[in-house]
Amino acid sequence: MAGRSVSGVAAIRMARLLASISFAALLLPSQAAFAQTAPSSAPSAGALQQSITFAIPPQSLSSGIVAFSRAAGIDLVFDGAVPRGARTSGVSGTFTVRDGVNRLLAGTGLSARFTNARTVQIVNPSAAGGVSGAAPSGAISLDTIDVQGETAWGPANGFVASRSATATKTDTPIIEVPQSISVVTRDQIEIRRNQTLNETLQYTPGVFAESSGMQHSGPTFQIRGFSAVPADGPIFLNGLRTINNGDIEPFGLERIEVMRGPASVLYGQNQPSGVIALVTKRPTEGPVHEVQLRGGSFGQKSGAFDFGGPVTEDRTLLYRFTGLLREGGNGIDFSNDQRAFVSGAVTWRPTDATELTAFSLFQKDKGRWNYGLPAQGTALPNPNGRIPVTRFIGEPDLDYNVTERAVVGYNLQHRATESLTFRQNLQYARENWDYRNATPIGLQADLRTLDRSYETLRASWDTFAIDNQAELKTTTGVLHHTVLFGVDYRWRRYNSLGLWGGVASPIDVFAPVYGQPVLISADNYGSRQTQNFPGIYLQDQIKLDRWILTFGGRHDWAESKTVNAFSAAVTNQNDRAFTRRAGLGYEFDSGVVPYVSYSESFMPVSGTTFDQVPFRPKPERSTRQASNTSRMI
């Protein structure tokens, strides 16, 4: 599974070369694409002939239209008179988009007109043939209904998402993914008024949010019992791992996806806990104009704005601009959490085949770390009574916790042909963390005096990540393939200086007196670390009638150099690993897809043994039997 390698430098050079080649391919559209100077209104014949597996049972026509739109990833527009009680016989099996629409509308008296490769207009021929244009008997005249097809990288309709790219890096219906996935949509975030990532995942199965208590600027997750804090690498922003510390403001996110279980086949070095994928708000084709002013308990007050829409009439240039300021307490004495967030994005479509979305964000949080309270006096009895849950056990005049981050990047997609698509995702992030805290050690024998120490830290991360992908949709006999080949690379530099074991006076948790002596001596630990992580992966999603097979493999290289800031001792580590994943499912008419899956993860471990031998990577394996469903129960 995993072993040591002395070829890390060669692997990194190879990855950089492949990344350059892939980037060049992305920037060289096909000749037909260059000849296109404006978006064409004609539909793409190849797109309409693409085969898709549908599992839409008989139901009302309106709900069937929504289900078809989600499955095919297209927009359906209806304008006219809808027969009362209209129903569809459903669409079950593998069909082209054109044939699928015809089956959906069979027996309804309606017809479809393809206005372009992603839009279908449903019309009622009889509505235009009556006297003076009157609707026939038994029909209801409705306003125009625009049903937007959901994509894995865009907004979901309501609380239930139907598509995801987290498990496959392709736009795939969730029911076809042989891994456990939950999606928190924009509507959920708005209804629940979530202010942190901890809050957004409190109701997500398999996730223990706020595992270290309520924190304003520090997500503390466990997934299936494994740590999933940012430093462990589970958080990905727009498909790339550049978040190493701190929170991301939910107001700036379109959706949050959690994939449980090992995920190294697509994402490289990672914990077996899984992946938390954040998708930022993207530019919209329709106008967005939102301004918020809010107030709440503990002096909470905030203001936010969200603007977006087309810049040009042909919608080849779109924008999104989002911002938020918030300040207030959290119920703990002396608390005053402050946050400033701003993000922007621009989408440019020079041709029908090419789309570039560039984005950036900045966020700064300031507050105090919450270490909780002793068990005796809260969860357990204490002869001195109960400790107030609002009690602060640090030093309000000295303690602070400040995090700051800036991220820039882009997502580029180019359809070279109707079956071949190139994608490139690139990001650079700069993060800073500065804190000093009086930290609890434990209660003395009187069960009221709390011993404390003092610690400080100043840390920074610089991270660059790039992921080049080629996706091919093809058919071999009766098998329908979605093949994904990728080359990615991540570079990270980490610097830290801090103090462990500073002296802070004890405090009476029942009658605290703040401002007692604290000795903050010179820094006594720190390091400078540089890491390189190239990887190459291959995945195939195969469909045979109702059978769905997914398998993939990946090879990773990991190179790390750590320099002790005080002794100047240098530790070099070079590791490599090959990881695998496979899953098999069967889709029933009811929309239930039972599946069995196997997946692996690979995680390098920094540091050395007592004999100065670098730690070996941690391989993990997971086998699972479960089921997905397309119906909400």
pLDDT in tens, 302-353: 999 999 999 999 999 999 999 999 999 999 999 999 999 999 999 999 998 9
CA atoms within 13 A on the CB side of 528: 7
Of 165, 166, 11, 25, the closest CA to residue 490 belongs to 11
More confident site: 590 or 539:
539
Residue 554 clears pLDDT 70, i.e. is over it? yes
The H or E element that residue 17 is part of is helix 8-26
- Residue partners of 567: CB distance under 8 A and separation at least 6: none
Are both 115 and 168 inside the same structural domain? no
Whether 239 is covered by a domain: the verdict is yes
Label residue 139 by pLDDT band (50, 70, 90): very low
- CATH number of the domain where residue 242 is located: 2.170.130.10
Are both 173 and 270 inside the same structural domain? yes
Summarised one tens digit per residue, pLDDT across range 67-80 is 788 788 777 776 55
Using left for φ > 0, alpha for ψ between -120 and 50, and beta otherwise, residue 415 falls in beta
Are both 89 and 195 inside the same structural domain? no
Identify the domain boundary among 147, 173, 205.
147
One-letter amino acid of 280 = T
Q: Which pLDDT value is given to residue 144? A: 44
Whether 73 is covered by a domain: the verdict is yes
Are both 177 and 85 inside the same structural domain? no
More confident site: 537 or 272:
537
Q: Alpha carbon 618 to chain centroid distance?
A: 24
Q: Which pLDDT value is given to residue 260? A: 93
Are both 46 and 94 inside the same structural domain? yes
Residue 495 clears pLDDT 80, i.e. is over it? yes
Q: What is the mean pLDDT of residues 260-269?
A: 91
Identify the domain boundary among 241, 258, 280.
280
Q: Which pLDDT value is given to residue 625? A: 55
- Residue partners of 337: CB distance under 8 A and separation at least 6: 216, 217, 326, 327, 328, 329, 330, 365, 366, 367
Label residue 2 by pLDDT band (50, 70, 90): very low
Are both 167 and 276 inside the same structural domain? yes
Q: Which pLDDT value is given to residue 584? A: 95
Angstrom distance (rounded) from CA 48 to CA 489: 35
> What Rg value do the Cα atoms of the chain yield, rounded?
27
Are both 265 and 175 inside the same structural domain? yes
Q: Which pLDDT value is given to residue 392? A: 95
Are both 123 and 169 inside the same structural domain? no
Domain span at residue 120 reads 41-129+141-147
Q: What is the mean pLDDT of residues 98-119?
A: 78
Token representation of residue 187:
């509507």
Summarised one tens digit per residue, pLDDT across range 177-195 is 999 999 999 999 999 999 9
Q: What is the mean pLDDT of residues 408-437?
A: 96
Q: How many domains does the chain have?
A: 2
- Mean of per-residue pLDDT scores for the chain: 84
What is each CA distance from 22 to 6, 51, 258, 427, 469, in whole angstroms?
A: 26, 27, 29, 16, 8
Q: Which pLDDT value is given to residue 621? A: 58
Whether 53 is covered by a domain: the verdict is yes
Q: Which pLDDT value is given to residue 396? A: 95
- Tell me the residue length of the chain: 633
Q: What is the mean pLDDT of residues 389-395?
A: 94
Label residue 458 by pLDDT band (50, 70, 90): very high
The H or E element that residue 538 is part of is strand 525-544
Are both 168 and 119 inside the same structural domain? no
Identify the domain boundary among 214, 249, 280.
280
Percent over 90 (pLDDT), the chain: 57
Measured in degrees and rounded to the nearest 5, phi and psi for residue 17 equal -65, -45
More confident site: 352 or 93:
352
Q: Dihedral, CA atoms, 281, 283, 287, 288, nearest 10 degrees?
A: 20
More confident site: 370 or 45:
370
Q: Which pLDDT value is given to residue 494? A: 95
Residue 419 clears pLDDT 50, i.e. is over it? yes
More confident site: 96 or 542:
542
Token representation of residue 596:
């069995």
Sheet holding 207-208, edge to edge: 207-208, 222-223, 226-227
CB atoms within 10 A of CB 127: 20
Using left for φ > 0, alpha for ψ between -120 and 50, and beta otherwise, residue 192 falls in alpha
DSSP string, 117-128: TTEEEEE-GGGG
Q: Which pLDDT value is given to residue 337? A: 94
Q: Which residue has the tokens 């897809």?
A: 593
Whether 497 is covered by a domain: the verdict is no
Are both 264 and 218 inside the same structural domain? yes
Whether 55 is covered by a domain: the verdict is yes
Q: What is the mean pLDDT of residues 26-30?
A: 41
Angstrom distance (rounded) from CA 568 to CA 562: 9
Q: Alpha carbon 621 to chain centroid distance?
A: 23
What is each CA distance from 58 to 83, 351, 505, in whole angstroms?
A: 17, 38, 71
Q: Which pLDDT value is given to residue 303? A: 97
Angstrom distance (rounded) from CA 439 to CA 441: 7
Q: What is the mean pLDDT of residues 364-378?
A: 93
Largest CA distance in the chain: 94
- CATH number of the domain where residue 84 is located: 3.55.50.30
Q: Which pLDDT value is given to residue 96? A: 84
Are both 96 and 172 inside the same structural domain? no
Q: What is the mean pLDDT of residues 501-519?
A: 94
Measured in degrees and rounded to the nearest 5, phi and psi for residue 320 equal -150, 135
Whether 525 is covered by a domain: the verdict is no
Are both 118 and 191 inside the same structural domain? no
Q: Which pLDDT value is given to residue 145? A: 43
Whether 69 is covered by a domain: the verdict is yes
Whether 169 is covered by a domain: the verdict is yes
